[in-house]
Amino acid sequence: MSEKYLKVMFGTKSGASDFEYKMNEVNIAENWNPNETEPDKMGGFNFSTETKILRWLVRGDMIYDIEIPDGAEVIDVPHPTTPHGVFRANKIIISNPRPVTDELAMQLYKVSDIPEKSYYKALAGLAIRGCIETCKLLIKERVNKNNIDLVLSEINDFTTPNDYNHGNQKVYDEVMEMLNKIKTSI
């Protein structure tokens, strides 16, 4: 049995381009170079699996199911160190739109299977999306005085170079306060 594919976007637009997706129809990529190794040159549509999508929730406020239509090409995008669950295809169908809520994020966190450092990046994304209860559980289960410097470094690395101005500053600040309390309790 194959895993369920998902995609996160702002409405029906990708955060990576201005492509406007059509619901329940075959969307065909204008650019598709499956043998390319650089994402900008690769083209196609990116998506992930249910167990890996947690890391990508920062990329939008809506989540969609992805269906691969007949005749589509799909590649598992290679990553130099760990499998990170990014796939690309030249054709996809998006359906079943639902908002990224704390409840949905919690469900995805509970089934997630990503490298430990990716949970720290996901924490930043969850905070930006306003998923406070999921953040609290992730902090409780995965953050401690032994890894707090790495957690803060990963969050800083994830948020500084990106401009996610569709975020929830209040929840982000609350999460950072929780993390700083762990750091100062050392």
Each residue of 165-184: pLDDT tens digit? 557 889 999 999 999 999 99
pLDDT score for 42: 86
Least confident of 1-10, 40-49, 107-116: 1-10
- Residue 37's pLDDT is 78
Q: pLDDT per residue over 92-105, tens digit each?
A: 999 999 999 999 99
Tokens coding 56: 């990508």
Q: What does the longest C-alpha to C-alpha distance in the chain come to?
A: 56
The C-alpha atoms of residue 55 and residue 115 are separated, in whole angstroms, by 10
H-only helix segments in the chain: 39-42, 102-111, 116-128, 132-142, 148-159, 169-184
Sign of CA dihedral 137, 138, 142, 147: negative
**Whole-number pLDDT of residue 1:** 39
Percent of the chain surpassing pLDDT 70: 90
What's the pTM? 0.88
pLDDT, tens digit (0-9, with 9 covering 90-100), for 68-124: 999 999 998 876 555 568 899 999 999 999 999 999 999 999 999 999 999 999 999
DSSP-based three-state secondary structure for 79: coil
